[in-house]
């Protein structure tokens, strides 16, 4: 890079000084914190996106400005790699160093050290595709990003306000456009709706129409986008009504609604009353997660979370593979420690499918799923997808169906692959997958729910002075620091039949998460609140102590 290019970077950087008192970290899903503190970080992510594109021989890199499920005042930014997957982890350290460079000269110094360590050819013109969600701080951050892109003369495409998974999809489409074998689709909203809509209609054709699906869009970007998807599908097979679709009023995003609220509180959105027999689902604020739910005839709430989606998808795929008669085409499942114990037993003992555990964060699950022929990965919070690896594709191509039934099963596997956004977990594509399976099986949500009964579980948040003192091992299920705290957790767990609990620092919120499971609801709550109380007392709890369980 020439001296004048570095001078230009330093000049632009001067417009976006780093707040002196904040240390940024590239966490579970990129940078996330209070939106108005992120201007310098987002500017610098623009620079990093340019370098990442050059390091990938000019392929397009994605930048998404969003804080997904977080409260409205937060914002965030993350990079998307060429196949639409999360940024390669070895670059996360570069992101953190860049975000924390104290001065404009330091920014230039970090930039040149990355160029040197990665052997980047800076003569390549970088390409970046970017988008944002509906947060009030997003336009300001977008302007900072555009300065970063301009500083390194990036060829950029602005996708405006789209869901996070849509941006992942666009990036993959752009980078595969020239390959007949790998071409993923048209990199536009219309192309996205056309691809997923057509695959859905192909799979459900001829089956009875389902009842209406009520979609809580968390007052986020999923609302306008799912309406466009419904317009494109334009069929009684996709009869939806959007609830919590207000993206204009301040203070509404993810507030008392959305997938995170529903999963964490184990109840419907505050603004909604459920009618027994009706079907409901919730997206989160950027529509990368989805959970389903319904009320039974007594009005009791029932949640169908990421584990239930995962087992539904795995069952359907396993049965199709068997019907297709393709030998040695394996289906496997990836979960995290948050997976309900009943779901894991069901996968192992009833479905007889292999299951592996990964750390929280879809980037970790994605890599494990890639090792399986057909890898189904979902976090309990509703974030996940299904991957068909190269081995699976080869087996599908080589398949020699011996009967019309086998030919139909092979055709359905291909169609399912077209229905699934393999680049990342995607609420809209996952919803079409669930709808397809339910329509094909003729199932209500209650029938889907019958597969297994969840163990009572509880997820709590504890705010502490410094969550970075929490260190974990064993797929984040065991604390190695603060010293002695894991022993306390173990002693509490031992008191409850079938008890399980773990503590880990969140990578997206300034909090420590406590998960607990036990044989009964009251044991589970008692365990969760006891562990949360111990964390608060022994590791610098701030604000209100988690309420004692009564």
* Residue 362 binds ligand G16 (CB under 6 A): yes
Q: Which of these segments, 37-45, 105-113, 375-383, 437-445, binds ligand G16 (CB under 6 A)?
A: 375-383
* Residue 172 binds ligand G16 (CB under 6 A): no
Q: Among residue numbers 470 through 509, which ones bind ligand G16 (CB under 6 A)?
A: 506-509
* Residue 218 binds ligand G16 (CB under 6 A): no
Shortest CB 338 distance to ligand G16, Å: 8
Phi, psi of 534 (to 5 degrees): -65, -40
Q: Which of 40, 68, 137, 457 is catalytic?
A: 68
Residue 149: CB partners within 8 Å, gap ≥ 6? 46, 49, 50, 128, 130, 156
- x-or-dash pattern for ligand G16, window 23-42, by CB under 6 A? -----xx-------------
> Rounded to whole angstroms, how far apart are CA atoms 61 and 55?
10
Shortest CB 291 distance to ligand G16, Å: 12
Q: At what angle do helices 404-419 and 427-441 cross, to 10 degrees?
A: 150
> Rounded to whole angstroms, how far apart are CA atoms 64 and 351?
37
457 strand-pairing partners: 517
Active site residue 68: yes
Q: Which two three-digit tokens encode residue 13?
A: 């950087």
> Rounded to whole angstroms, how far apart are CA atoms 229 and 286?
15
Shortest CB 505 distance to ligand G16, Å: 8
Shortest CB 282 distance to ligand G16, Å: 12
* Residue 513 binds ligand G16 (CB under 6 A): yes
> Rounded to whole angstroms, how far apart are CA atoms 438 and 204?
10
Residue 361: CB partners within 8 Å, gap ≥ 6? 28, 29, 507
- x-or-dash pattern for ligand G16, window 65-94, by CB under 6 A? ---xx-------------------------
Angle at 314 between CA 321 and CA 305, to 5 degrees: 160
**Helix residue ranges per DSSP H, 71-158:** 92-100, 104-118, 138-151
* Residue 381 binds ligand G16 (CB under 6 A): yes
* Residue 284 binds ligand G16 (CB under 6 A): yes
Q: Which of these segments, 122-130, 207-215, 357-365, 494-502, binds ligand G16 (CB under 6 A)?
A: 357-365
Shortest CB 373 distance to ligand G16, Å: 23
Shortest CB 67 distance to ligand G16, Å: 7
Q: Which of these segments, 5-13, 99-107, 214-222, 360-368, binds ligand G16 (CB under 6 A)?
A: 360-368
* Residue 361 binds ligand G16 (CB under 6 A): yes
From the list 247, 335, 360, 436, which residue makes contact with ligand G16 (rule: CB under 6 A)?
360
Q: At what angle do helices 92-100 and 39-55 cross, to 10 degrees?
A: 140
Residues in the chain, total: 550
Residue 268 · residue 228 · CB < 8 Å: no
Phi-psi region of 545 (alpha: psi -120 to 50; beta: other; left: phi over 0): beta
* Residue 55 binds ligand G16 (CB under 6 A): no
Q: Which two three-digit tokens encode residue 31?
A: 């940078």
**Cβ-based nearer residue to ligand G16, 245 or 306:** 306
**Cβ-based nearer residue to ligand G16, 138 or 381:** 381
* Residue 383 binds ligand G16 (CB under 6 A): yes
What single string gives the DSSP state of each residue in 341-389? HHHHHIIIIIS---EEE--SSHHHHHHHHHTSSEEEEE-TTS-EEEEE-
Shortest CB 506 distance to ligand G16, Å: 3
Shortest CB 483 distance to ligand G16, Å: 23
Q: Which of these segments, 177-185, 283-291, 444-452, 458-466, binds ligand G16 (CB under 6 A)?
A: 283-291
**Cβ-based nearer residue to ligand G16, 147 or 284:** 284
**Cβ-based nearer residue to ligand G16, 54 or 477:** 477
What single string gives the DSSP state of each residue in 407-435? HHHHHHHHHHHHHS-TTS--HHHHHHHHH
- The site for ligand G16 (CB under 6 A) is made up of 28-29, 68-69, 284, 288-289, 360-362, 379, 381, 383, 506-509, 513
Residues annotated as catalytic (active site), given as ranges:
68
């Amino acid at each position: 890079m020439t001296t004048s290019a570095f001078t230009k970077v330093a000049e632009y950087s001067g417009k976006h000084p780093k707040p002196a008192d904040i240390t940024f970290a590239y966490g579970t899903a990129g940078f996330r914190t209070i939106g108005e503190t992120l201007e310098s970080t987002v500017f610098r992510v623009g620079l990093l996106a340019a370098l990442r594109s050059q390091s990938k021989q000019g392929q397009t890199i994605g930048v998404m400005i969003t804080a997904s499920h977080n409260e409205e005042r937060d914002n965030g930014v993350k990079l998307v790699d060429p196949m639409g997957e999360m940024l390669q982890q070895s670059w996360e350290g570069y992101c953190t160093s860049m975000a924390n460079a104290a001065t404009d000269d330091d920014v230039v110094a970090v930039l040149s050290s990355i160029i040197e360590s990665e052997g980047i050819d800076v003569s390549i013109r970088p390409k970046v595709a970017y988008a944002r969600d509906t947060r009030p701080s997003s336009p300001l951050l977008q302007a900072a990003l555009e300065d970063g892109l301009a500083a390194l003369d990036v060829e950029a495409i602005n996708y405006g306000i789209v869901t996070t998974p849509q941006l992942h999809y666009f990036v993959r489409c752009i980078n595969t456009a020239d390959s007949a074998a790998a071409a993923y689709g048209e990199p536009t909203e219309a192309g996205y709706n056309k691809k997923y809509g057509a695959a859905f209609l192909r799979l459900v054709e001829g089956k009875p129409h389902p009842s209406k699906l009520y979609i809580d869009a968390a007052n986020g970007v999923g609302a306008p986008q799912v309406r466009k998807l419904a317009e494109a599908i334009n069929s009684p097979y996709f009869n939806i009504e959007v609830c919590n679709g207000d993206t204009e009023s301040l203070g509404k995003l993810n507030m008392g609604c959305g997938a995170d609220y529903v999963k964490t509180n184990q109840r419907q959105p505050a603004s909604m009353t459920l009618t027994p027999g009706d079907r409901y689902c919730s997206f989160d604020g950027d529509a990368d997660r989805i959970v389903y739910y319904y009320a039974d005839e007594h009005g009791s709430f029932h949640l169908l979370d990421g584990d239930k989606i995962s087992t539904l998808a795995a069952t359907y795929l396993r049965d199709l593979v068997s019907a297709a008669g393709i030998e040695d085409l394996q289906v496997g499942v990836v979960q995290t420690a948050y997976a309900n114990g009943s779901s894991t037993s069901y996968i192992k003992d009833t479905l007889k499918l292999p299951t592996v555990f990964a750390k929280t964060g879809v980037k970790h699950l994605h890599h494990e799923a890639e090792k399986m022929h057909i890898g189904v990965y979902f976090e309990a919070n509703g974030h996940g997808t299904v991957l068909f690896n190269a081995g699976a594709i080869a087996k599908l191509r080589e398949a020699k169906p011996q009967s019309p039934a086998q030919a139909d099963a092979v055709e359905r596997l291909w169609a399912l692959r077209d229905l699934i956004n393999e680049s990342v977990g995607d609420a809209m594509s996952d919803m079409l997958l669930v709808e397809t399976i339910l329509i094909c099986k003729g199932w209500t949500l209650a029938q889907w729910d019958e597969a297994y009964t969840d163990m009572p579980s509880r997820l709590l948040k504890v705010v502490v002075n410094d969550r970075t003192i929490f260190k974990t091992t064993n797929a984040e299920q065991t604390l190695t620091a603060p010293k002695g705290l894991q022993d306390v957790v173990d002693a509490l767990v031992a008191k409850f039949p079938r008890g399980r609990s773990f503590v880990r620092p969140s990578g997206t919120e300034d909090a420590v998460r406590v998960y607990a499971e036990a044989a009964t609801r009251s044991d589970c709550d008692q365990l969760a609140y006891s562990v949360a109380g111990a964390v608060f007392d022994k590791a610098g709890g701030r604000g209100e102590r988690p309420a004692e369980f009564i």
